[in-house]
Structure 1
Amino acid sequence: MVINRGLYVRLAGAAVLWGGTFVAGRLLAAEVSPAAAAFVRFALAGAVLAALAWREGEPVAWTPRTLGWFALLGLTGVAGYNLLFFTGLRTVEAGRAALIIANNPVAIAAGAALVLGERLGLRASLGIGVAVVGACVVVSRGHPLQVLRGGVGVGELCIAGCVVCWTAYTLIGRRALAGLSPLQATAGACVVGAAILAGPALAGGLARGIGAWSATAWASALYLALGGTVLAFVWYYRGVQALGAARAGVFINLVPVSGVVFGWLFLGERLDPSVWVGGALVATGIALTRTRAEAPPVRTGSS
C-alpha cells in the first residue's frame, strides 16, 4: 500500500510537471527563438537521459536501424513538435494550449485505427467527435465555426499541429521501437532530435544570443529539460511498469488541469467561458475514448 501511494504521488507529480511546461514554454518563447528553445531543452535532456540509460544498464543502441527510427522520432516528436510548441506559445495562453494538446490521446486513438488497423468502437468514436468539438471551441475562443472559415490564429494552428506531430511520433514508436526500453527510446529520440535542431538554432543566432539569456529564460529551459522531460518521464514510466498503462495513463488527465491552473496563477491568464466549455468537452471525449485495453502512449515522455 505504501509503495502504491508513492507511485501515485510520482505519477501525479509527472502530470503536474508536464502541466508546468506550458508556463515555462511561454516564458521562454517570449525572449528566445523556437529553434533555440527547443535545441537547448533537448540537448540538455538528451545528455541526461543517455547518461541515465547507461547508468541503469540500458545503454542506447546506436545501430543503423535505430538511428533511422530515432531520426523519424526526432523529426516528429522532438523537432517538429517543439518548433510548433514554442512558436504557438508566443501568442497562445498556456492554459488554452494545454487544453488543445489534451487531445493527444484522442488523436492517437483515431490514428491507430486509421494507420495500424486497431479497432475503434462506437464509444471511442463518439469520444473522438466530442473531443474534436471541444478542441474547436478552445482553438476558436468560443466561435467554433471560425475553424471552418479559416479565422483561427497561427498560434492556435501551431499548437494543433503539435497534436499531429505527437500522434505521428506515437504511431512510429509503436511500430519501430519494439525491443527498446522506454528510457533507451526516449534518450535516442532526444539526442537525435537535438542534433536536427542544432542547425536551425545556430542559424538563428543561438551562439551569439545565448549569453544574453535572462535568468527567467535559463530557469524555464532547465525546468523544461530536467523537470518536464527527464524527471517527469522517469516517474511516469516507473508508474506504467508497476501499475500498467491504463491505470497510470489516468494521471495524464491532470496535465491540462495543471496547465490551466498554472497559467492562471503564474501568468494571470483569464479563464474565459470557452476554456471551461471546451475543456469539459475535451475531458468528456478523452474519458469516452479510453478503454481498459489501451496500450501505453508510447515509449516516451510528454509535452
Structure 2
Amino acid sequence: MNKPPLSVYLKLVCVALFWGGTFIAGRIVSTEIPHMIAATGRFLVACVFLLLLAWRVEGGLPKLTRQQKHATFGLGATGIFLYNICFLAALERMPAGRSALFVSLSPIVTALSMAALFRERLGGLKWLGIAIAFVGATIVLTRGDVFAVVHDISSSMGVGELFMLGAVGSWTAYTILGKHALKGLTPIAATTYASLWGLLLLSMGALNQLPLLDTSKLTWQVISAIIFLGIFGTVIGFVWYYEGVKAIGPARTAVFNNLVPVFGVALSSIMLNEPVLISMVLGGLLVIAGVSLTNRVSSSQST
C-alpha cells in the first residue's frame, strides 16, 4: 500500500481544531435557542455551501442507487440528526470543555466496534495506544477521582454526560457507515446527501419548537456561532474527515478525534473562561500519547 500524503493528516488535525471550536459555538447556541432550531440552522447553512461546492467541484450531485440512498440516510440519521440532538442537549447542561473531553471515547468505541463487527485486526501496540487513551479519558471523565466513581457513578455521570455518550455512539455509527457509503460516492457527495437527510429530519423537530423560539435571543453571537457550525464544523470538517476515512480507514481516522478535546478545552478556557483542571491536563496528555502511538503504528503498517 502507498503511504497516504502528509496533507491527509494535516487536514485531520484541522478538522479536530474546527470540531473543538464547535463545542464553544454549540455552548453559545444551546443556551439561547431551542436545540432543533439551532441544529436546523446549522445544516441549512451547511447544505447551501455543500450544494454550491458540489456544483462547482463535481458539476452537481450524482443520482443515488437504492443502496446509496439507504447508506446516506443512515449517515444523516446518525451523524447529523442523533448526534446534534445529543450534542446540543449535553452542551446545555455541562461546560463546553468537559463536553469536548468526551470525544476522546470515540476512537476507542470505533476501533472496538470495527474489530467486533468486521473483524478488523488490532495489533498489540494499537491495543496499547487505545488503552493509554482510555486511561486518559477515564481520568478526565472522573475529574481525577477514578476510584470514587465505582461507589457513586452519579458523581461523574449526570444527564449531560449521558447525552455526550449518546453523541459518541451516534458518531461511531456514522464513522463506520461512512466506510460503506463512500463506495461509489465522493466525500463531497456523501457529505451533502447525509446533510440533506439530516436537515429533513431536524426540520421536522424544529417545526414543533418554533413556539419556543425567542427571536430576541438571535444575537450576532448566536448567528455567528450557527454559521461557524455550518461552514467549519460541517462543510469543511465533514469533507476532510471523509477524505481521511477513505485514505486511511475509519479506525485510524477516528483516532484524530482524540485531539478534539485538547482544542476544545483550550478554546473553552480562552473564550469562555472555563477552568482547566489538573485532571484535564493529565488525562489530555495520556490521550495524546495514545493517539500518537496508535497513529505511528498505523502509519508504519501502511508503508
Residues 212-243 of structure 1 deviation map (CA, whole Å, 9 limit, x = unaligned): 522211111011001221233456667888xx
Structure 2 CA distance for partners of 1:126 and 1:10, relative to 1, 3 Å: closer
Look up the equivalent residue of 2:53 and give its one-letter code: L
> What CA RMSD, in Å, does the superposition of the two structures yield over aligned residues?
3.1
Question: Which residue of 1 is the match for residue 138 of structure 2?
Answer: 136
3-state secondary structure, aligned to 1:31: coil
Question: Which residue of 1 is the match for residue 184 of structure 2?
Answer: 179
Whether the 8 Å CA contact 2:39–2:84 is kept in 1: the answer is yes
Asked if 1:261 corresponds to 2:266, the answer is yes
Shift of 1:46: 2.0
Shift of 1:41: 0.8
Matches within 5 A, 1:87-126: 87-126=89-128
Question: Which residue of 2 is the match for residue 51 of structure 1?
Answer: 52
TM-score by length of 1: 0.83
TM-score by length of 2: 0.83
Cα separation, 2, equivalents of 1:294 and 1:61:
38
Cα separation, 2, equivalents of 1:238 and 1:169:
14
Q: Which runs of 5+ in 2 are unaligned?
A: none
Structure 2 CA distance for partners of 1:269 and 1:163, relative to 1, 3 Å: same
Structure 2 CA distance for partners of 1:142 and 1:284, relative to 1, 3 Å: same
Cα separation, 2, equivalents of 1:160 and 1:288:
24
Shift of 1:80: 0.8
Whether the 8 Å CA contact 2:136–2:282 is kept in 1: the answer is yes
How many residue pairs match? The answer is: 291
Shift of 1:252: 5.6
Look up the equivalent residue of 1:292 and give its one-letter code: S
Identity over the aligned pairs, expressed in percent?
38
Residues 256-280 of structure 1 deviation map (CA, whole Å, 9 limit, x = unaligned): 3221111011100100112112212
Cα separation, 2, equivalents of 1:287 and 1:171:
22
Question: Which residue of 2 is the match for residue 150 of structure 1?
Answer: 153
Shift of 1:21: 0.9
Shift of 1:141: 2.0
Structure 2 CA distance for partners of 1:108 and 1:11, relative to 1, 3 Å: closer
Shift of 1:285: 2.6
Look up the equivalent residue of 1:27 and give its one-letter code: I
Question: Which residue of 2 is the match for residue 289 of structure 1?
Answer: 294
Cα separation, 2, equivalents of 1:120 and 1:86:
33
Shift of 1:250: 8.1
Structure 2 CA distance for partners of 1:194 and 1:12, relative to 1, 3 Å: same
3-state secondary structure, aligned to 2:92: coil
Cα separation, 2, equivalents of 1:250 and 1:278:
16
Cα separation, 2, equivalents of 1:143 and 1:33:
34
Question: Which residue of 1 is the match for residue 173 of structure 2?
Answer: 168
Shift of 1:110: 1.1
Cα separation, 1, equivalents of 2:38 and 2:177:
25
Whether the 8 Å CA contact 1:103–1:282 is kept in 2: the answer is no
Shift of 1:197: 1.0
Look up the equivalent residue of 2:42 and give its one-letter code: R
Cα separation, 2, equivalents of 1:210 and 1:21:
22
Q: Which runs of 5+ in 1 are unaligned?
A: 296-303
Structure 2 CA distance for partners of 1:82 and 1:250, relative to 1, 3 Å: closer
Shift of 1:134: 2.2
